[in-house]
Amino acid sequence: MQDIRKISFSDLVKFLENHNEPAFRAKQIYEWIWKKHVFSFDQMSNISKKLREHLQKHFYFNVTHVSQNLTSQDGTVKFIFRLYDGKKVEGVLIPTQKRITACISSQVGCSLDCSFCATGRMKLLRNLESSEIIDQVVHIQQKSLELYQRPITNIVFMGMGEPLLNYSNVIRAYVHLTDPKEMGLSTRRLTISTAGIAKGIKRLADDNIKAKLALSLHAPTDEKRIKIMSIHAQNNLKVLHEALQYYYSRMKQYVTYEYLLLKDFNDTLEDAKALVKWCRKIPCKVNLIEYNNTGTFTGSNPEQIKIFEQYLLQHDIPTSIRKSRGQDINAACGQLIIQDKSIILKE
């Protein structure tokens, strides 16, 4: 037997033909799976009982459940999702007046070890399937409609894991989420964030993936970045520059740089000058991120953050400060980690 959500549309058509069923049934089944998001063949009401029985003999659903959700004082909701094999990941619903954002995970744990990120303490257990990525969106959508009577407007791959190290499943999820016949979200409403996988950035361009690209930069020099992000050893600023130039030459889309401000480390005027120099390379914008406590660093004070922002703006670098959301439930940027005895942490 096989997970029905791993089968391609063309293979589903072949399966139906082999069972003397008309090909148009494939479109109906796909709509139930990817647009209506059912988790049972019995829910496919316009499919004959005989065909549903055939499907049940050959396929199954690996269902993702909500194990727990926590609501912040600011309205942010953190979800703990239990996967079919018992493993867990987290996702976040972030409401504002203008948008509803779903922050979703791409891996169980993470192979990277960025020193400011709680998820980096977890060992990578496995990649998420595309259906498990989409299930997070479906559950978050349901909660958004329940709490705020509004659907999701934006999706960010900024949860647990490195999206470009689970490239195939992330892109499959992206295709289903943006297909007009399925969830139908605008490609510009999705953001894929990376700690800096140069080969993956180039691959996004080669595959013409029109989601927004966000690079977790966090330091404007090789000397500083390597201290907080070990991945920088293989993806230094020169390598990233080449990948980003290639990306922009193909996509003509600006890149967002995520920049976490850490007190007395990367928040000085010299750092701001170096960041401006970096930003001149290709069209971009900068999101300045307040440090959310993970027990490792001290965040920059509000005055210094404002000074840093003003310097960038004075030098014509589009810049905004991303306010922390959900800190009181450990749902803010960098805080996602499964608090469970079954989780394996890095030594």
**CATH, range 65-329:** 3.20.20.70
Look-up of token digits 């004959």 = 48
How deeply is 315 buried, as exposed, middle or buried, from its count of CB atoms within 10 A (0-12, 13-18, 19+)? middle
Domain 2-60 has CATH 3.30.70.330: no
DSSP calls for 107-168: EES-S---TT-SGGGBPP-EEPPHHHHHHHHHHHHHHHHHHHS----EEEE-SSS-GGGGHH
CA-nearest of 129, 132, 209, 126 to 174 is: 209
d(Cα 112, Cα 99) in Å, to the nearest integer? 30
pLDDT at position 289 is 95
| 3-state SS class at 78 | strand
Contacts of residue 175, defined as CB under 8 A and 6 or more positions apart, other chains included, come to none
Q: Say which amino acid occupies 175.
A: V
pLDDT at position 216 is 97
Among 114, 117, 284, 333, the one annotated catalytic: 333
Q: Is 90 a catalytic residue?
A: yes
Q: How far is CA 181 from CA 13, 184, 194, in A?
A: 17, 6, 28
Residue 315 corresponds to which tokens in the numbers above?
Answer: 């030098």
pLDDT at position 254 is 96
pTM: 0.94
Residue 161 corresponds to which tokens in the numbers above?
Answer: 């894991």
Q: For the chain of 347 residues, list the mean pLDDT of each consecutive stretch of 10.
A: 91 91 92 92 92 92 94 96 96 95 96 91 94 97 95 96 98 95 92 98 98 97 96 95 98 97 96 97 96 86 96 98 91 83 62
d(Cα 82, Cα 85) in Å, to the nearest integer? 8
| Cα 346-331-329 angle, rounded to 5 deg | 105
| 3-state SS class at 79 | strand
- DSSP bridge pairs for 257: 215, 286
Q: How far is CA 187 from the centre of its chain?
A: 14
Count the helices and strands in the chain (H runs, E runs): 10, 14
pLDDT tens-place string over residues 327-337: 999 988 888 88
d(Cα 16, Cα 51) in Å, to the nearest integer? 9
Helix H or strand E encompassing 54: helix 49-58
CA-nearest of 262, 334, 332 to 297 is: 262
Among 31, 53, 90, 103, the one annotated catalytic: 90
DSSP β-ladder status, 255-261 and 2-3:
unpaired
pLDDT tens-place string over residues 103-122: 999 999 999 999 999 898 89
pLDDT at position 347 is 61
d(Cα 64, Cα 75) in Å, to the nearest integer? 23
CA-nearest of 66, 160, 63, 153 to 104 is: 160
| 3-state SS class at 208 | coil
Contacts of residue 291, defined as CB under 8 A and 6 or more positions apart, other chains included, come to 116, 260, 261, 262, 263, 297, 298, 299, 300, 334
- Ordered by start, the domain boundaries in the chain are 2-60, 65-329
Q: Say which amino acid occupies 5.
A: R
pLDDT at position 323 is 87
d(Cα 2, Cα 315) in Å, to the nearest integer? 55
pLDDT tens-place string over residues 29-57: 999 999 999 999 999 999 999 999 999 99
